[in-house]
C-alpha cells in the first residue's frame, strides 16, 4: 500500500526532473561550456594572473545567464525547423513539452538577470557587452541572417566572439587591442567550425530551408572556404605575440594551428564525412587548447 501511494509522488518528481532538464537543454550547455572557457581565458590573460574568485564566479554566472537566455530565445524562434532536424527535434520547444510563451519568458528572464548581475556586481561595460552579444545573436543572426543568406555564420559569428570582451572588461573595466584580437580569433574560428558541421548536416538544413553554405554553394566550395578561413584564423592567432605573449604561446599556437591546417587541407582533398567530422570535433578542442596555451603563457610569465 505504501509503495502504491508513493508512486504518484515519484512520477511527479520524475516529471519535474524531466521538465527541468528540458529547460536546461534550451540553454545549450555544450555551447555555454565553450563560451565560459573563452570568458575565463580572457579574464586570466587580462589579469596576467588569477583574478579574485568572486569576480570570476559572478562574471561566469552572468555570462551563463545572458548567453543562455539568447540560446533559449533562439530555440523559441527556431522551434518550427528544430522539430524537423534530427539534431534538434528533441528540444522541449520542438516537441511541445515547453510552450512557446514559457520558453520566451524563460529566455528573457535569464537575459535580464544576467545583465543586471553583471551590471551591479561587475561593471556596466561587461553588462552592456553581454547584452549586445545576446541581442546580436537573437536579432541579427537568428531572425535576420540564418534563413536568408549563406553568410549567416560569418556575420552572425560575431555574437559568439563577445564573451572574451566581457571577460576582459570585467577585469580591466575597458577594452584594449588584445581583447579585440581574442574577439577576432573566435570570429574567424566560427566559419570553419560550423561549416564542417554543416557538411555533416546539409541534408537537414536543405529540408528546412536554411541556406547554409553546402546547400547553396555545394560541398567543394564549402571545403575550400573552411581551408581559407583556417588560414586566416591561424594568422590572426599570431597577432597576440607582439602584445606580450611569449614563446610558450607562440609554440602552442603554431602547433595547434598547424594541425588544424592539416585537417582542413585533408578535408579539402578528401570529400568524406569522416574528414568533416574529424575537422569539426578538432575545432572544438583547438579553441579550448588555444586559450589554455595563452593562459599558461600568462601564468608562467607572471
DSSP state of 135: H
CA distances from 253 to 184, 239, 250, 291 (A): 15, 11, 5, 9
For the cut 50, the answer to whether the pLDDT of residue 1 exceeds it is no
Provide the residue range defining the domain that includes 277. Answer: 176-302
Q: Which of 175, 194, 210 is the last residue of a domain?
A: 175
| Average confidence score pLDDT of the chain | 93
CATH number, domain of 101, equals 1.10.357.140
Residues 180 and 160 in one domain: no
Residues 272 and 301 in one domain: yes
Residues 272 and 204 in one domain: yes
The whole-angstrom separation of Cα 43 and Cα 112 is 23
- Does 24 reside within a domain? yes
Residues 167 and 52 in one domain: yes
Q: Can you give the pLDDT at residue 16?
A: 81
Residues 190 and 166 in one domain: no
pLDDT in tens, 147-185: 999 889 888 889 999 999 999 999 999 999 999 999 999
- Does 8 reside within a domain? no
Express as a percent the part of the chain with pLDDT over 70: 96
Phi, psi angle pair for 187, to nearest 5°: -60, -45
b/e map of 213-223 (b: 16 or more CB within 10 Å)? bbbbeebeebb
Provide the whole-model pTM. Answer: 0.93
Residues 158 and 239 in one domain: no
DSSP state of 302: -
Number of compact structural domains in the chain: 2
- Does 10 reside within a domain? no
CATH number, domain of 191, equals 1.20.120
- Does 272 reside within a domain? yes
DSSP state of 201: H
- Does 114 reside within a domain? yes
Q: How confident is the model at residue 9 (pLDDT cuts 50, 70, 90)?
A: low
- Going by C-beta distance under 8 Å and a sequence separation of 6 or more, which residues neighbour residue 85? 201, 204, 205, 207, 208
pLDDT in tens, 199-217: 998 888 888 888 999 999 9
Q: Any idea which of 9-13, 26-30, 123-127 has the lowest mean pLDDT?
A: 9-13
Residue closest to 38 by CA, chosen among 58, 70, 64, 69: 64
- Does 6 reside within a domain? no
Amino acid at each position: 500500500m505504501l509503495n502504491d501511494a508513493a508512486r504518484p509522488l515519484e512520477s511527479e518528481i520524475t516529471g519535474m526532473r524531466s521538465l527541468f532538464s528540458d529547460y536546461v537543454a534550451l540553454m545549450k550547455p555544450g555551447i555555454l561550456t565553450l563560451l565560459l572557457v573563452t570568458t575565463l581565458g580572457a579574464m586570466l590573460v587580462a589579469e596576467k594572473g588569477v583574478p579574485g574568485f568572486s569576480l570570476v564566479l559572478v562574471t561566469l554566472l552572468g555570462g551563463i545567464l545572458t548567453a543562455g537566455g539568447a540560446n533559449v530565445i533562439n530555440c523559441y524562434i527556431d522551434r518550427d525547423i528544430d522539430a524537423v532536424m534530427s539534431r534538434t527535434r528533441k528540444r522541449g520547444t520542438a516537441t511541445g513539452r515547453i510552450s512557446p510563451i514559457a520558453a520566451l519568458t524563460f529566455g528573457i528572464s535569464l537575459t535580464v538577470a544576467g545583465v543586471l548581475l553583471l551590471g551591479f556586481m561587475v561593471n556596466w561595460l561587461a553588462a552592456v557587452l553581454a547584452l549586445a552579444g545576446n541581442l546580436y545573436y537573437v536579432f541579427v543572426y537568428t531572425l535576420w541572417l540564418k534563413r536568408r543568406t549563406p553568410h549567416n555564420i560569418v556575420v552572425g559569428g560575431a555574437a559568439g566572439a563577445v564573451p572574451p570582451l566581457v571577460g576582459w572588461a570585467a577585469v580591466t573595466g575597458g577594452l584594449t587591442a588584445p581583447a579585440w584580437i581574442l574577439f577576432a580569433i573566435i570570429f574567424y574560428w566560427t566559419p570553419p567550425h560550423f561549416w564542417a558541421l554543416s557538411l555533416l548536416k546539409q541534408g537537414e538544413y536543405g529540408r528546412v530551408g536554411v541556406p547554409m553554405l553546402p546547400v547553396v554553394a555545394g560541398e567543394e566550395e564549402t571545403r575550400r572556404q573552411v581551408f581559407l578561413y583556417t588560414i586566416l584564423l591561424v594568422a590572426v592567432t599570431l597577432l597576440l605575440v607582439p602584445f606580450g605573449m611569449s614563446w610558450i604561446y607562440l609554440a602552442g599556437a603554431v602547433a595547434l594551428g598547424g594541425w588544424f591546417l592539416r585537417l582542413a587541407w585533408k578535408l579539402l582533398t578528401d570529400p568524406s564525412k569522416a574528414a568533416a567530422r574529424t575537422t569539426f570535433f578538432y575545432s572544438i578542442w583547438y579553441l579550448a587548447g588555444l586559450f589554455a596555451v595563452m593562459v599558461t603563457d600568462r601564468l608562467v610569465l607572471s
